[in-house]
């Protein structure tokens, strides 16, 4: 390799690494947080830190497990419909994404085992994160082709109510994270797909231990209570591969015989802690109003620290993120119609963690939602809907006019529809209902 070939090779590999991890940014940031797990929580705009009364408390606030009586089996399924549009500027072609049917599930069981004031639970679930997929040769390809992340929790939790005005909870969990991202780029500023390189990141972790804790205090029974929950910093290292399929010219620069570059990589990630807190006003059991605030200090992850195995020129590469700390605000209410029916409504606002979104996922958003609960014979059925309004995103030209990469300038317009359905079976309530001892 000559001295002239070294910078050419390193620049091309650097472009591949930066491209894939730039497109991954919206997946890691609060794009996961849309708007909260569970049908009942979504119907209330996510405002269930204090008043949560189903098994999604495993993730939101384990103290609320203490509100569950008897033996319960819970399942929910969520799915999203994206309406995301990109127009290439100044060259004008446009395209819509190809959001697949991508259900996200939550399953859990709980029981008090006959112990007064205690509830023990197990659940498998993940925060909502869905595939963002676009045509591989579309005009958006220099920003994103596909971002896909999965985060799976296996949790054991316990809630305890030692006295009437106090609930506390704790859970221990194992978390698995998987990433799959695609990105196109060209170093010739020629937008013909034949001259593109498509880079792919495929990485995951083994199960990593974590935990969560929460508390709810009721200073004025039947009228007012406050609650808090905490997820700690979550440190993982994802390992996997970086693969790029490229035109013969690029392959020649890298000294490849088959125009495919592949390298193993590892990357430590420091997910921020998550602080949730709120207050709930209750009017007996007729209706309630709850306000919650959630805080994500994303600045604990200042850069992607990428370690390549084969590359000697850029074996270690740090990509700065410049993410911001974010707040999420929620307001929700539930009204009891009768012994069988409840209706809910909510609103949520979330800041953007990224200074400039790439891929149309991570923008300031407003979320309006509603839902209902119907209870008969020990079975609860919840259905909820949320519409996510997002700000338009302008991807500007690169500031360095000598950059070898296409700048991908353009405009994204996006909104989302979220639907969640869940059911819960309480075996004690079912027994009493069928024996005529309770109306439900």
Domain-wise residue ranges, the chain: 5-434
Measured in whole angstroms, the distance separating CA 396 from the mean position of its chain's CA atoms is 26
At residue 10, the pLDDT reads 60
At residue 387, the pLDDT reads 93
Q: Is 360 left (phi over 0), alpha (psi -120 to 50) or beta?
A: left
Q: What does each C-alpha distance from 382 to 126, 136, 261, 326, 394 come to in angstroms? A: 19, 38, 49, 30, 38
Sign of the Cα pseudo-torsion (50, 341, 103, 26, in order): negative
Which residues are 213's β-sheet partners? 170, 230
At residue 409, the pLDDT reads 77
The CATH number fitting domain 5-434, selected from 1.10.20.60, 3.40.50.1820, 3.20.20.140, 2.40.160.60: 2.40.160.60
Burial of 379 (0-12, 13-18, 19+ CB in 10 A): middle
Which residue in 404, 139, 134, 144 sits closest to 249, CA to CA? Answer: 404
Which residues are 183's β-sheet partners? 199
Residue in the block written with tokens 């992850």: 301
- Beta carbons within 8 Å of 183's beta carbon, 6+ residues apart: 19, 20, 22, 23, 141, 142, 143, 144, 145, 198, 199
At residue 439, the pLDDT reads 53
Reported pTM: 0.87
Which residue in 214, 203, 207 sits closest to 173, CA to CA? Answer: 207
Q: What does each C-alpha distance from 276 to 46, 228, 232, 294, 344 come to in angstroms? A: 11, 6, 12, 4, 21
Contact 242/251 with Cβ under 8 angstroms?
no
Q: What does each C-alpha distance from 52 to 36, 181, 214, 216 come to in angstroms? A: 12, 35, 12, 10
Give the Cα separation of 296 and 326 in Å (integer): 5
Tell me the Cα Rg of the chain. Answer: 24
Sign of the Cα pseudo-torsion (17, 19, 24, 29, in order): positive
Q: For the chain, how far is it from start to end, CA to CA, in angstroms? A: 78
Give the Cα separation of 236 and 208 in Å (integer): 7
Q: Residue 136, SS3?
A: coil
241 token code pair: 């591969």
User: Tens digit of pLDDT for each residue in 203-243?
Assistant: 888 889 999 999 999 999 889 999 999 999 888 888 999 88
Question: Which DSSP letter does residue 39 get?
Answer: H
β-bridge pairing 287-296 and 326-336 = antiparallel
Question: Which DSSP letter does residue 264 get?
Answer: E
Give the Cα separation of 112 and 83 in Å (integer): 44
At residue 89, the pLDDT reads 73
> Which parts of the chain register pLDDT below 70?
1-35, 90-92, 128-130, 187-191, 254, 256-257, 311-315, 355-362, 397-407, 436-440
Give the Cα separation of 387 and 370 in Å (integer): 9
CA angle 23, 46, 377 (to 5 degrees): 125
Which residues are 5's β-sheet partners? none
Strands of 247-340 (E only): list them: 260-271, 274-283, 287-296, 303-308, 316-320, 326-336
């Amino acid at each position: 390799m000559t001295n002239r070939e070294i910078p050419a090779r390193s620049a091309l590999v650097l472009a591949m690494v930066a491209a894939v991890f730039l497109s991954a940014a919206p997946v890691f940031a609060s794009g996961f947080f849309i708007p909260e797990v569970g049908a009942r929580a979504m119907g209330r705009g996510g405002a269930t830190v204090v008043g949560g009364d189903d098994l999604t408390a495993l993730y939101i606030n384990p103290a609320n497990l203490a509100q569950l009586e008897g033996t319960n089996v819970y399942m929910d399924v969520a799915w999203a419909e994206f309406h995301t549009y990109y127009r290439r500027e100044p060259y004008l072609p446009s395209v819509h994404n190809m959001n697949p049917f991508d259900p996200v599930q939550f399953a859990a069981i709980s029981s008090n085992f006959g112990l007064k004031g205690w509830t023990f639970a197990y659940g498998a679930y993940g925060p909502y994160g869905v595939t963002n997929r676009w045509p591989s040769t579309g005009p958006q390809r220099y920003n994103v082709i596909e971002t896909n992340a999965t985060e799976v929790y296996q949790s054991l939790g316990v809630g305890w109510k030692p006295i009437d005005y106090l609930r506390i909870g704790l859970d221990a969990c194992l978390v698995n994270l998987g990433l799959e991202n695609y990105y196109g780029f060209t170093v010739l500023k020629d937008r013909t797909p034949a001259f593109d390189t498509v880079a792919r990141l495929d990485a995951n972790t083994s199960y990593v231990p974590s935990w969560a804790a929460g508390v709810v205090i009721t200073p004025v029974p039947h009228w007012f209570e406050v609650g808090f929950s905490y997820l700690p910093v979550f440190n993982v290292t994802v390992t996997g591969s970086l693969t790029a399929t490229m035109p013969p010219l690029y392959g020649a620069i890298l000294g490849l015989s088959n125009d495919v570059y592949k390298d193993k990589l590892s990357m430590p990630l420091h997910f921020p802690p998550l602080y949730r807190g709120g207050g709930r006003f209750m009017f007996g059991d007729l209706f309630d109003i709850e306000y919650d605030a959630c805080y994500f200090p994303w600045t604990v992850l200042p850069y992607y620290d990428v370690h390549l195995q084969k590359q000697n020129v850029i074996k270690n590469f740090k990509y700065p993120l410049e993410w911001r700390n974010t707040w999420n605000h929620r307001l929700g209410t539930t009204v009891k119609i009768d012994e069988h029916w409840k209706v809910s409504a909510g609103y949520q606002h979330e800041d953007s963690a990224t200074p400039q979104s790439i891929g149309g996922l991570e923008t300031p958003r407003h979320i309006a939602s509603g839902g209902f609960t119907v209870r008969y014979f020990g079975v609860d059925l919840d259905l909820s809907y949320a519409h996510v309004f997002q700000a338009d995103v302008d991807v500007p030209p690169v500031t360095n006019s000598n950059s070898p990469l296409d700048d991908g300038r353009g405009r994204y317009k996006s909104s989302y529809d979220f639907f969640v359905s869940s059911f819960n079976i309480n075996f004690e309530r079912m027994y009493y209902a069928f024996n005529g001892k309770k109306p439900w």
